[in-house]
Amino acid sequence: MVISNDKLRARFRDEISRIGEHNPNAFFNAALISAYTECDQYITDLKVYLDECERVFRSRFAELFPKCHIAKREGSYLLWIDLSAYFKTEEELKEFFIDKARVAIYLGSQFSPDYKLFIRFNLASPLSVLEEALKRMDNVLQGRAYNASK
């Protein structure tokens, strides 16, 4: 893309960086315009689906970890979960989710040292994948090891 005005080019680069599209290709503009002008039903359906994923996850996760606090989801598909009632160190948290349950999470410390006993959980998955993650957590809590063959 050619933008001869230095200030506009700088603003364009900043905006592209801000939205995470660092190397826009020939389809970028068409896709962006289409997303903002023709995808209302998709967005509506996606919100309904994410709300259902969140409802299922919150309900089942609260059964597994009743003392946890899950922050209100605000405009994304990510949940912040405070697990300080269950884990004393980030290493314990990592061992439970990543090593034993084999559930991918974001460790809170990746975002701030104050969030060492938090995880950030991604809801943007098929519901069956979320249910599998919850089953794996339950298996670890029940003393059953993760088995990839099942």
DSSP one-letter code for 27: T
Burial environment of residue 70 by CB neighbours within 10 A (0 to 12, 13 to 18, 19 or more):
middle
- Phi-psi map region of 75: left, alpha, beta (phi>0 left; psi -120 to 50 alpha): left
Range with the poorest average pLDDT among 25-39, 51-65, 71-85, 91-105: 25-39
Kindly list the structural domains of the chain, giving each domain's residue range(s) and its CATH number in brackets, ordered by start: 41-141 (3.90.1150.10)
Q: Which of 18-22, 75-79, 84-88 has the lowest mean pLDDT?
A: 18-22
Instruction: Give me the pLDDT at residue 149, please.
Output: 47
pLDDT value, residue 16: 77
pLDDT of residue 27: 83
Helix axes 127-141, 40-64, angle to 10 degrees: 10
Average pLDDT over residues 47-54: 94
Q: Please state, in angstroms and rounded to a whole number, the distance separating the CA atoms of residues 148 and 34.
A: 40
pLDDT at residue number 145: 63
pLDDT in tens, 119-130: 999 999 999 999
Q: How many C-alpha atoms does 47 have within 13 Å on its Cβ side?
A: 7
* Both structure tokens of 114: 């104050």
Which pTM does this prediction carry? 0.74
pLDDT on residue 146 = 56
> Looking at the predicted structure, is the pLDDT value of residue 150 above 60?
no
Q: What is the mean pLDDT of the chain?
A: 89
For residue 119, give the nearest of 75, 76, 68, 74 by alpha carbon. Answer: 68
